[in-house]
């Protein structure tokens, strides 16, 4: 465990973490405003581009290429984002995707 210069420093770090967690919870409580956000929410829920792709296909949403959605389309949406996706929501999805890539599925 890291050592700290003071208890106050540790408290400040913990308070910052609490604020970040609270902000993430509020972001996740906000309903999806459009199909792109629905896709991102589903990825966050499942942690899987394949399961997200299946969800999008069930909804009948076409890919930007005007065909069936693929796992690659989900990955591209997470990586590149879109103007109609909340930056905070996209950051959560990117963090999850990054954790999966480095450590396997995250819980």
Q: How far is CA 98 from CA 9, 33, 50, in A?
A: 28, 24, 16
pLDDT band at 28 (very low <50, low <70, confident <90, very high): very high
Across the range 37-41, mean pLDDT stands at 97
pTM, two decimal places? 0.84
Residue 38 has pLDDT above 80, yes or no: yes
Place of tokens 């450590």: 103
Distance of CA 4 to the CA centre of its chain: 31
Residue 102 has pLDDT above 80, yes or no: no
Q: Quote the pLDDT of residue 100.
A: 67
For the chain, what is the radius of gyration of the CA atoms? 17
Residue 63 to residue 94: CA distance in whole angstroms: 20
Pair of tokens at residue 67? 């065909």
Q: Quote the pLDDT of residue 16.
A: 97
Q: Quote the pLDDT of residue 97.
A: 93
């Amino acid at each position: 465990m890291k050592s700290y210069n003071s208890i106050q420093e540790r408290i400040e770090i913990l308070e910052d973490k609490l604020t970040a967690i609270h902000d993430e919870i509020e972001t996740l409580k906000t309903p999806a405003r459009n199909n792109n956000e629905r896709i991102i929410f589903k990825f966050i829920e499942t942690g899987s581009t394949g399961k997200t792709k299946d969800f999008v296909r069930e909804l009948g949403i076409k890919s930007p290429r005007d065909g069936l959605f693929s796992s690659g389309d989900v990955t591209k949406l997470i990586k590149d984002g879109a103007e109609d996706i909340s930056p905070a929501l996209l950051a959560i999805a990117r963090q999850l995707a990054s954790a999966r890539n480095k450590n396997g599925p995250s819980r």
